């Protein structure tokens, strides 16, 4: 079945460091890919997305590129801030076919990121 594997956490970095959180997936067809972020005490929020191969999603300085050849969607940011401390989830849609099952997202286990000043 479809699955998402994320880099094991927790990840601790200093402010202004470069961030990479790895995400690889297994899926049939051509899923859409997502990164969600969860700040302490809150629900998940969509951070960025990509809907087809070679698409680059970006938001708030974060980027991720949909790599079909390596089945990856790694999250990167050039210079992290203390306010980026959160849990990050990689996810995929089951299928772009529009069937009911397509609306079900498969989430990775989450990666906790802590940025120290």
Residues lying near other proteins in the complex (CB under 8 A) are found at 32, 34, 36, 42-46, 49, 51, 89, 93, 96, 98, 100-105, 107, 109-110
Do residues 52 and 66 make contact, with C-beta atoms less than 8 angstroms apart? Answer: yes
- In the complex, the smallest distance separating the C-beta of residue 43 from other proteins, rounded to whole angstroms, is 4
- In the complex, the smallest distance separating the C-beta of residue 51 from other proteins, rounded to whole angstroms, is 7
Please identify, using beta-carbon distances, which residue of 66 and 89 lies nearer to other proteins: 89
Please identify, using beta-carbon distances, which residue of 27 and 80 lies nearer to other proteins: 27
- In the complex, the smallest distance separating the C-beta of residue 36 from other proteins, rounded to whole angstroms, is 8
Please identify, using beta-carbon distances, which residue of 19 and 32 lies nearer to other proteins: 32
Please identify, using beta-carbon distances, which residue of 47 and 115 lies nearer to other proteins: 47
> From CA 68, how far away is CA 19, in angstroms rounded?
22
Q: Nearest Cα to 24, choosing from 99, 93, 76, 91?
A: 91
Please, what's the b/e burial string for 40-68 (b: 16 or more CB within 10 A of its CB; e: otherwise)?
A: eeeebeebbbbeeeeeebeeeebbbbbbe
């Amino acid at each position: 079945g479809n699955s998402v594997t994320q880099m094991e956490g927790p990840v601790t970095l200093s402010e202004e460091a470069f961030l990479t959180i790895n995400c690889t997936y297994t899926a049939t067809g051509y899923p859409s890919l997502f990164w969600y972020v969860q700040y302490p005490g809150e629900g998940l929020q969509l951070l960025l997305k990509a809907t087809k191969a070679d698409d680059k999603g970006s938001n708030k300085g974060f980027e991720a590129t949909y790599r079909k050849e390596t089945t990856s969607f790694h999250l990167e940011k050039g210079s992290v801030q203390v306010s980026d401390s959160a849990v990050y989830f990689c996810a995929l849609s089951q299928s772009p076919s529009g069937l009911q099952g397509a609306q079900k997202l498969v989430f990775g286990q989450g990666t906790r990121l802590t940025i120290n000043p």
